[in-house]
């Protein structure tokens, strides 16, 4: 039973660039949530995708956008990268649009220089 | 306001000592869930426990135990006879009615041999 997978593991980008992170949910799950975890902080909720639509959003600017595909995998896109976007980006999957039982992936470490 | 506070930033103990990690939460919702996650150096958040707001029974799982007290809005986590493998960052999280998971800042636990 495959767990949540994320790619890439690490990424280095330059300010102003755009980045796409990918997530495949745990087998049987249909909901994907994205979190940003800055160094030394707790994860912050970015948004959640269910039935290929953004269902909920945290306090993040429009530079952060996402997509969910028919196979339930998801992408997180960040435009016009800032130094402050450097963080660990975590993907979590769950069932039925809820966050009652989430399984987290290993994360993508993004460094913006 | 919905908030989770983990006042202890770092805790260092010697193996076999007992250690308690504190968690205080704020919410006006009557129905909510509380969680504890462990984050080892690999980065992946590992689920430890979930508690709903109507179940104040304490829980014990091996060397782990949890004390939920609604009267003080606390959900503390105790590790008995700590081991080096317990070294990690521990997060307490709140899931209010909105469904968005709210994490505390985390407590870094270092268990020395």
Question: Are the C-beta atoms of residues A45 and A95 closer than 8 Å to each other?
Answer: no
Residue A1 predicted with pLDDT over 70? no
- Window B:31-90, CB contacts with A under 8 Å: 33, 37, 42-47, 50
**CA nearest neighbour of A108 among A7, A16, A3:** A7
Q: Is the four-CA dihedral A94, A98, A104, A109 of positive or negative sign?
A: positive
- pLDDT digits over B14-59, tens only? 999 999 999 999 999 999 999 999 999 888 899 999 999 998 888 8
- pLDDT of A99: 79
- pLDDT of B99: 81
Residues of chain A contacting B44 with CB distance shorter than 8 Å: 104-107
Tell me the backbone φ, ψ of residue B9, rounded to 5 degrees. -80, -45
CA distance to partner chain A, nearest, from residue B10 (Å) = 11
Residues of chain B contacting A109 with CB distance shorter than 8 Å: 43
Whether residue B43 and residue A109 make contact (CB cut-off 8 A), yes or no, is yes
Residues of chain A contacting B43 with CB distance shorter than 8 Å: 88, 90, 106-107, 109
Whether residue B106 and residue A45 make contact (CB cut-off 8 A), yes or no, is no
The rounded mean pLDDT for chain A is 95
């Amino acid at each position: 039973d495959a767990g949540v997978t994320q790619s890439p593991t690490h990424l280095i980008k330059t300010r102003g660039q755009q980045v796409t992170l990918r997530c495949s949910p745990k087998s049987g799950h249909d909901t994907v949530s994205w979190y940003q975890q800055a160094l030394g902080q707790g994860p912050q909720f970015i948004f959640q995708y269910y039935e290929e639509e953004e269902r909920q959003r945290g306090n993040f600017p429009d530079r952060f956008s996402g997509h969910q595909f028919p196979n339930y995998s998801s992408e997180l896109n960040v435009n016009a990268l800032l130094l402050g976007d450097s963080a660990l980006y975590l993907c979590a999957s769950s069932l039925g649009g809820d966050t009652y039982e989430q399984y987290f992936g290993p994360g993508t470490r993004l460094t913006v220089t | 306001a919905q908030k989770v506070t983990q006042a202890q930033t770092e805790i260092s103990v010697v193996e076999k000592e007992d250690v308690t990690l504190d968690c205080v939460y704020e919410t006006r919702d009557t129905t909510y869930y509380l969680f504890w996650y462990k984050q080892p150096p690999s980065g992946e958040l590992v689920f430890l426990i979930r508690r709903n707001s109507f179940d104040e029974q304490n829980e014990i799982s091996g060397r782990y135990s949890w004390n939920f007290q609604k009267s003080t809005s606390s959900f503390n986590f105790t590790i008995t006879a700590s081991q080096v493998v317990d070294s990690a960052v521990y997060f307490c999280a709140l899931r209010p009615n909105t469904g968005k998971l709210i994490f505390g800042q985390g407590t870094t636990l270092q268990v020395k041999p």
